[in-house]
Structures are given as structure tokens and as C-alpha cells.
Structure 1
Amino acid sequence: MSRLTKGRVLIAAGSDPSGGAGIQADIKVVTALGGYAMTAITALTAQNTKCVFDIHSVPITFLRKQLELILDDIGTDVIKTGMLHSGLVIDVIVDVIQNKARDIPLIVDPVMIAKGGGCPLLDLDAMQVLKDRLIMRAHLLTPNLPEAEYLTGLAINNLDDMYHAAELLLSLGPSAVLLKGGHLLSETVIDLMVTKDNLHEFRSPRINSNNTHGTGCTLASAIATGLAQGLSMKDAVSRARKYVFTAIATAPRYKTAGYGPLNHVHTVIENI
């Protein structure tokens, strides 16, 4: 991998003080894959690997200022959203995109519930705003199965259900949907990517590991980096899945109360 930084990625998401997910993971991922990470923090969280205990929202006017100043100065090649938590936050993101980044590819990771539980990461009254204003503008939507169930109202228990849910998610307006199948209990993890004209299955063996904190944030940011670097959607997803697979396989295995962190820097270590 080239040591030259290439590909600007602007991430709007919440902070995770444990370092495994959220903005902290996003920065690690983009940097480890050779991109340039920029951030607009939507909220501070009090959490560890076990649970999200509390959320402190960033003032809406301050969030807008973060986004606008970055776009007016450095610019970006891709925008990626993570935890947005309220309708007001989603409205600001959409308004700024419409005014300053209408043609920039948008990756939407619809973060709703932390893996370990605790405070919901998306207010219930924000769900419709997410559908009506943000998802319809997405270049790629990256839900896991619980998130897809919330968005579609379907129970997803098998691969056929995944196909049905992916098509329903596509009808919400995104250009592409990557429905992640990791929550299905099987030896092979299957992710479905659907567009208006194509469908592709990505498969990988399951790693039996408890070190999976932040896998959704990590995968979406890795895809965003690939797109910012000029990869096709399929190649960006393929590279991102391989990156996450190795990050789980080589996780540091810290003794934690919940789901342990990934090894986000495995690409860096390989090149030392």
C-alpha cells in the first residue's frame, strides 16, 4: 500500500471514548487505509465496551459550523455519516449537503443501537426524518440486520429475508444498499449489495470472536475511503470487508467488560 495520503473523507458522527467505534474508529480506519480523515462531531457519549451510558448532544449551530468550515476550506471527496441521534441533527446534515456538497458521494451508516445496549443512538422520532431526508440521498446505505428490521418493519431470519429487506431498503431512495448479514447465525457471513441494476453477494468465513466493537463504523468508513480513492463501489466494499476481517482476526484481545476493540492499525503494522 502506498504511504501517500489520498482521498478526503468527512465523517459526521458521535464520539466513542473507548476508541473502538464512532469518530475515534473512523479516523483510525481512514488513516490506516491511506486516506485523510476530517470530522464533524454530532454528540459526545459516555460509553465503554459494555454499554452506552449517556449522550451529550453538540449544539446544532456548532455542528453546522463544523461542517461548513471544513467544506469551505479543505473540501472532501466523500461524506460518511454515523451516529446522528436526532431529527435536528439529520436536518442540519442534509441542509449543509444540499447547500455545499450536493454532488459529493454520501455513505449513510444508520447507527441506531450500540452492540452492547444502553441509550438508543437514534431517537424514535428521528426515524422518519432519516428515511425522508437522508437515506434517499445516500450513495450507499450500510445497515446491519437489526437496523434493517427497524427501517423496513420486517423480521429477517434468513438469506431470503435479506433479499426482500434489501429491495425494500433500496426503494427508500439510496443508489445502493449493503445489507450486512453478520447477525445471522451461520459459519459464513453474507453481505448483500443491491442497486437498481445489480445484486452481489460478498461471503467470508465467520470469525468466532468477541472483539467486534465498532465493526459497522469501521466497515462504512473503510468503504468511504475506497470510494474517495477512486475505487469502484464493488472494489471499495471488497477491500473494506477484507480490512475488517483482518482487524477482527488480529484484535488485541484486551480484557473488557463487553465487546472488545478491533485492530484498526494492522495495515500500518504490516508496513513498519
Structure 2
Amino acid sequence: MTPPRILTIAGSDSSGGAGIQADLKAITLLGGYGMSAITALTAQNTLGVQGVEVMPAAFVMAQVASCLDDIGADAVKIGMLGSPAIAHAVADRLEGSGLPVVFDPVMVATTGAILADTDTIAAFERLMRLATVTTPNVPELAALGGAAGMTARNVSYLAKGGDAAGDMIEDRLVQPGHPDIAWHDERIVTLHTHGTGCTLASALATLLGRGLPLEAAAVEARAFVRRALLAAPGLGGGNGPLGLFAGATARNAPSD
């Protein structure tokens, strides 16, 4: 069986816990064929981001074209973009493509580093309109105008509640014209959350590329991330990476 072809357009994480590296791991473990267009190189680890080098927009789009014009894609995941020029160029290429698109509006890393300036955030408008679903966390949703702002845009989004206070977390899927769907889970208490947003978005893209409807893809992607959080290997001195292999192994294990 041909695996779903998933293109991730995002930044690189030198420590392997987030960004392109986390995306490709999740895509592969969920049965997809991963391809990448790298928007920025970062020097980072579990303690923070030590440096960022943004790629020229033309070169990012050359990578996108190399993938789409030859192998093609069944879904696209968009993460850290790095500049307004890249955001607009990606929107130009994907508008009218008909591809499922998962847009993770990366603004702030788990470590607290700012990964998008105000002009880049403004360019997100086009990407939210073309995306199948946008996946903001609590501070990103606030920066985008909150639930009211997203409703005014008439876009689908999965609001991630992990950054909110409390022992329980709520993730909420909002789709225009449909009732909201909310999931409530007990918080997994761990320092090792590096790459959760990247992993969720790339898992969603892979599942959409397999043909799952959005709600079913969200259920499975959330479960994958929660298993990976529970299996975090404890690497690094700060916000460590997830245990993605354990998350996939549990999913594929035979039932009793």
C-alpha cells in the first residue's frame, strides 16, 4: 500500500525534539512518507533557542516545488515560517491546491523563545483561511484575537489547552457550521513537552492524508501525543523531547 505523502514546511530543530525532526518522526511512525521544506535553521536544545537563520523565501519554495512537482503530496503541515515573505509564498503555492493543510501558527517555542515577528503573524491570515485546521496553543490563540477572532475569520481550528492552568486540560475543535467538540483529560505532569505542538500538527496531517475526517484525525493525533508524553525519555536539562516511538508502538500493539 502506498503511504500518504506528507510535506512539512517548518524550521529545523538541531536537538531533534521539535520542528522538522519531530515532524518527520511522527509522520513516519504513523505510516506516512515524510518530505520537508526547511524554512529556518535553529541552534536549540531543551534549554532554549541559541540562534536562528531564516532561509530565503525563494529557496524555501524551491524545496516545496521539488517535492510537489515530482512526488506530490496528500497533505501538508506548516510550522515555523520565519518571515512574512515565506508565509505569503507558501500561501501562494497552496491556495487552490485542494490539499489538506494543517497550520501550526508557531509564535513561541516551549522554551519561551519568540519564533515569529508581528509582520509574520499578520501574514498568517492567508494561511488560516486556506488551512483545513489551524492548531493554536493558549498564547497563540490570544495573539490571534481569541475565540472571537477565530470565529470572525470563519476558520476551523483546534485550540490546545495544555498551557492553561489546572489539573484538567481542554482541547476544543471548532468548525464553522458544526457544534464544537471538546476533549477533557487529566494533565500529564511532566517537564518534557518539547515539540508537542509540532508532533500534534504533523500527526494530524498524516491522518488527514490517510483520508480520516478531521474529528477522527484529531482523536487519534491527541492520543498519539499523550502516549508520547507519558513515554518521554527524560533527555536534556530542560523541556525534553517526547517518546514518539512508544506512542506509535502502543497504537500498533495487538489488542487482547
Query: Residue 103 of structure 1 aligns with which residue?
Result: 98
Task: Determine if the alignment matches structure 1 residue 258 to structure 2 residue 243.
Answer: no
Query: In the aligned structure 2, how far is the partner of 1:249 from the partner of 1:267?
Result: 8
The reply on whether 1:129 has 2:123 as its aligned counterpart is yes
CA distance in 2, matches of 1:172, 1:77: 25
Counterparts of 1:187-266 in structure 2, within 5 Å, are 187-196=167-176, 197-254=178-235, 256-266=236-246
* CA positional deviation for 1:113: 0.9
**2:110 aligned residue (112, 115, 124):** 115
Q: Distance in 1 between matches of 2:105 and 2:9?
A: 12
CA 1:241 to 1:65, structure 2 compared with 1: closer, same or farther past 3 Å? same
Q: Which residue of 2 aligns with 1:161?
A: none
1:40 pairs with one of 37, 43, 47: 37
Deviation of 1:263 after TM superposition, in Å, equals 0.6
TM-superposition CA deviations, 1:69-92 (whole Å, max 9, x none): 211111111111000021011011
Aligned to 1:148: 141
Q: Does the Cα contact within 8 Å between 2:228 and 2:247 map onto a contact in 1?
A: no
Query: CA–CA distance in 2 between the matches of 1:267 and 1:126?
Result: 33
Q: Which residue does 1:156 correspond to in 2? A: none
TM-score computed with the length of structure 1 as normaliser: 0.88
Check conservation: 2:54, 2:83, Cα contact below 8 A: no
In structure 1, distance between residues paired with 2:247 and 2:143: 34
Q: Which residue of 2 aligns with 1:77?
A: 74
> Which whole-Å CA distance do the structure 2 matches of 1:253 and 1:129 have between them?
36
**Structure 1 contact 6–36 (Cα < 8 Å) conserved:** yes
Unpaired segments of 5 or more residues in structure 2? none
1:166, 1:177 within 8 Å by CA — same for their partners in 2? no
State whether residues 135 and 173 of structure 1, in contact with CA within 8 Å, keep that contact through their aligned partners in structure 2: no
CA RMSD of aligned residues (A): 1.6
Equivalent residue number for residue 158 of structure 1 = none
1:45-64 to structure 2, matched below 5 A, reads: 45-64=42-61
For 2:17, the equivalent position in structure 1 comes to 20
Question: Does the C-alpha gap of structure 1 residues 32 and 39 become closer, same or farther in structure 2, counting only changes over 3 Å?
Answer: same
Give the gaps of 5 or more residues in structure 1: 153-164
Identity of aligned residues (%): 42
**Mapped partners of 1:27, 1:168: distance in 2:** 31
Aligned residues: 251
CA distance in structure 2 between the partners assigned to 1:143 and 1:108 by the alignment:
9
Q: How far apart, in 2, do the equivalents of 1:86 and 1:238 lie?
A: 32
Structure 1 residue 147 displacement after superposition: 0.4
Whichever residue aligns with residue 136 of structure 1, its letter is R
Which whole-Å CA distance do the structure 1 matches of 2:173 and 2:59 have between them? Answer: 35
1:182 aligns with 2:162: yes
Q: Which runs of 4+ in 1 moved over 4 A?
A: 267-272
